């Protein structure tokens, strides 16, 4: 998460983990991941494994996200991401959201995220919000980490 032009990591180095926003407060502990801190979190539903699980539940026999043919899977993933981001925006009041990772490049994801956020975000936030894919796609995290390391070395 970038705040004031700087990477914000918080006192423990783990702030900005939007994937840990809880989407399902009634999730059964250990149902998708045995680690309690992963119960009901967004990453479990819209990360690569979650999207593959959704596709299989819809009857697709796939092991690779790129082979999913059902657009409804990506639309639902986008809806869930949008809902999670609405929670983050309500707390942080951000004006720009940049989505990285391979999932952000999937068909219909961005459109579904934007539609969900326009509907469910606080209206003043929704009106001024820009949602963009990361310029470096699935390599965004790696490139961002390298930039942080470089900045740390340079002081």
Q: What is the CATH number of domain 19-148?
A: 3.30.420.40
Q: Which of 148, 155, 151 minimizes the C-alpha distance to 13? A: 148
Whether the predicted pLDDT of 17 surpasses 80 = yes
pLDDT tens digits, one per residue of 41-68: 999 999 888 999 999 999 998 888 888 8
CA distance 51 to 69: 12
Distance CA 99, CA 83 (A): 14
What CA–CA distance (Å, rounded) separates 135 from 123? Answer: 27
Domains of the chain, residue spans: 19-148
Top-confidence residue, 48 or 135: 48
Give the predicted TM-score (pTM) of the model: 0.83
- Taking residues 87-112, report their average pLDDT: 86
State the Cα–Cα distance between residues 47 and 53, nearest whole angstrom.
10
């Amino acid at each position: 998460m970038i705040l004031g032009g700087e990477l914000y990591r918080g006192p423990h180095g783990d702030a900005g983990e939007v994937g840990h926003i809880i989407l399902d407060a009634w999730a059964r502990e250990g149902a998708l991941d045995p680690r309690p801190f992963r119960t009901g979190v967004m990453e479990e539903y819209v990360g690569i494994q979650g999207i593959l699980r959704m596709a299989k539940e819809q009857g697709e026999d796939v092991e690779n996200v790129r082979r999913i043919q059902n657009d409804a899977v990506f639309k639902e993933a986008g809806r869930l991401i949008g809902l999670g981001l609405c929670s983050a925006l309500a707390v942080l009041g951000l004006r720009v959201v940049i989505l990285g990772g391979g999932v952000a490049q999937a068909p219909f994801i961005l459109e579904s995220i934007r539609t969900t956020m326009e509907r469910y975000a606080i209206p003043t936030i929704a009106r001024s919000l820009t949602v963009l894919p990361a310029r470096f796609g699935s390599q965004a995290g790696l490139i961002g980490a390298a930039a942080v390391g470089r900045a740390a070395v340079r002081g």
